[in-house]
Amino acid sequence: MAAILESLLGSCANKLQNIISDEAILILGVEEELAEVLRRVELIRCCIYDAEKWRTKELAVNNWLGQLRDVIYDVDEILDVARCKGSKLLLDNPSSSSRSASYKGLSVSSCFCNIGSRHDVAVRIKSLNKRIEKISKDTTFLTFSSSTQPTGNGPTSKVIRSSNLVEPNLVGKEIIHSSKKLVDLALAHKGNKSYKLAIVGTGGVGKTTLAQKIFNDKKIKGSFKLQAWICVSQDYNQVTVLKEVLRNIGVYHEQGETIAELQRKLAETVEGKSFFLVLDDVWHPNVWADLLRTPFHTTNSGVILVTTRDDQIAMRIGIQHTHQVDLMSAEVGWELLWKSMNIAEEKEVHNLRNTGMEIVDKCGRLPLAIKVTASALASKDLTENEWRKFLGKYSGSHGMLSDEIEGALYLSYDELPHRLKQCFLYCALYTEDSIIYRGVVTKLWIAEGFIMEQQGQLLEDTAEGYYYELIHRNLLQPDNTIFNQAQCRTHDLLRQLACKLSQDECFIGDVETLRGENMSKLRRLSVVSKKDKLVLTSMDNMVVKVRTFLAFYGPWKIEDAFFKRFLLLRVLALNYSIVRNIPDSIAKLIHLRLLDLGHTGISHLPESIGSLKNLQVLSLINCDALHSLPSGMTQLCNLRCLRLTGTKVNKVPKGIGKLNLL
């Protein structure tokens, strides 16, 4: 938890520094109270690294960290409230742009309004200061020592973006030999009805990398009429898999088509043609036996390449040849380490060879862990002292994570600037093997407040820089067949790490399984449910602190009471659900930054939507029943993105053109 809190504290301190001189704060006259909050946050921030060493050993430390997390989130929320109230006063009294002028020339009613707003905000800030003071005087805190560890405020490195198809960083003779052998096998059996190959090995060992090299081989491309690459994952959806196969071969599918209809369409498309199909990350044999075998029976010839961790899965699919991928040798692992650091020749780091070998062993000789570690080492000086210091950190990470592999990945996370830490952990909300779209995830990061404003640069551009930085550090895996790497995934080992680090405040799954006390601690929910109606756990007399609520795929109906309970939401994504109505009570969600209602059945939006002064993104993609927008939308002064693709809106309110950020 301390690792997450370090990034929260850093983000909170930056926001406080930026907002104290804001006109909306000056007119309220609470800058001194906020300056005191900043001073105390900075004090605690100096000792948070020491807390990490103790957190697995002392229950008291965990409790203390939990209290600190809650108060930092509350600081973030009061900053929102203060900015909103101050901005309203500025709109009512445009001549009052500083504290000295805040009462001058105002009407009596305006003065009382100002006093009332200031009192409300000041009381809440004073209460927060008392809570922070209590936390800083706790005996647990007094046992920590100040740290000179870097706080990750430095700029992220500039990443070169490329639209070219980039082959993975391959090293060693083994992968070249293995690739040639499997390509030759595929070509030798291309006349078979369905010849099946499998690449088997533990997670992160390089199965997908080898499969990509085979899939991209020119001989394969030239020998098969149709090719498709499908990420299956542990909890796959049959309809999604069939649609993805059809998309890969350029076939359009209709909304609402059944499994049988999709299978029939696939069978008609591949009939009489040759086919090369990759099923990556298979956990269940049914994906072939029950779903794809029948439609592919119509092919003239075909080769199916499966990657899996379990050789029993391969046997049950009926694999004719299995290729086992073993751990890298220490020599090849060392080669991968320095090449992944963009070092041209080994002689540049030959003096670090022995230490490098130790690092490779700590990574379990897994390619994924080695590449991620290399990205972290790339920012270090090429000296024995620096590498030894990095290696020494492993002893500090063992207590937190289950084995050395996760320890290696954790160190690379630990080296991230605090802004990137939050962005990486947020990706844990995506289900296994989900596609992460750059344009979507960057907007989610902005809505959560992870993206800090930089002079002369749009927030969206800064967020894209973070996205490419995570790719550069091998923490996100891009789809290099997509222009500018606009889609990516999180490797399951890295996703497990992100889930473990954020488990105190994030939940992915069926929310109906949550107990009330667990719900009260959560900040982010990603709903996975196959039920017709989303029924939330009983929340009587419970404060819900959730900031992000993602329900990417339905169908669900959501009770109106939802909008009265989740009052701290910044992100609400109900896309692909069968929600038809948005109640007036949505006006209570004053913190909301992003509202995604794409692919839903809504026919109108309430006028009260104009109360969402912080709303930045409104997505209404493919809302077929929506034909007009309410006049209240002209009040959305911070709206910077309105998405209407595929929506038949024929009436927009007068004055919408005055929204300057659109």
What ranges make up the beta strands (E) of 514-658?
A: 524-527, 533-534, 548-550, 557-558, 571-573, 594-596, 617-619, 641-643
CATH number of 504-658: 3.80.10.10
Residue 208 C-beta-side C-alpha neighbours within 13 Å = 22
Provide the residue count of the chain: 662
Q: What is the pLDDT of residue 519?
A: 78
The first and second tokens of residue 55, run together, are 């957190």
Domain 174-324: CATH architecture, name and number where available: 3-Layer(aba) Sandwich (3.40)
Nearest-angstrom CA–CA distance, 425 and 4: 9
Nearest-angstrom CA–CA distance, 470 and 423: 9
The strand order across the sheet containing 436-437 reads 436-437, 487-489, 477-478
Q: What is the pLDDT of residue 334?
A: 94
Residue with tokens 């492993």: 394
Q: List all residues 6 or more positions away from 402 whose beta carbon is below 8 Å from its beta carbon.
A: none
Q: What is the pLDDT of residue 135?
A: 84
Low-confidence ranges of the chain (pLDDT < 70): 1-4, 7, 47-59, 91-117, 142-173, 394-405, 408, 515-517, 530-541, 552-556
Q: Where are the alpha helices (DSSP H) in 363-403?
A: 367-377, 384-392, 394-397
Sign of the C-alpha dihedral computed for residues 78, 83, 89 and 91 taken in this order: negative
Torsion angle in degrees (nearest 10) through CA of 146, 147, 153, 158: 180
Nearest-angstrom CA–CA distance, 239 and 18: 48
Q: Partners of 534 in the beta sheet?
A: 558
Residue with tokens 């305006």: 110
Q: What are 218-274's pLDDT values in tens digits?
A: 999 999 999 999 988 777 889 889 998 998 998 887 777 889 999 999 999 999 899
pTM of the entire structure?
Answer: 0.72
Q: What is the pLDDT of residue 400?
A: 43
Domain range annotation of the chain: 2-142, 174-324, 330-414, 419-488, 504-658
In terms of Cβ atoms closer than 10 Å to its own Cβ (0-12, 13-18, 19+), residue 337 is buried
Q: Where are the alpha helices (DSSP H) in 502-554?
A: 516-519
Q: What is the pLDDT of residue 616?
A: 95
The residue type found at 32 is: E
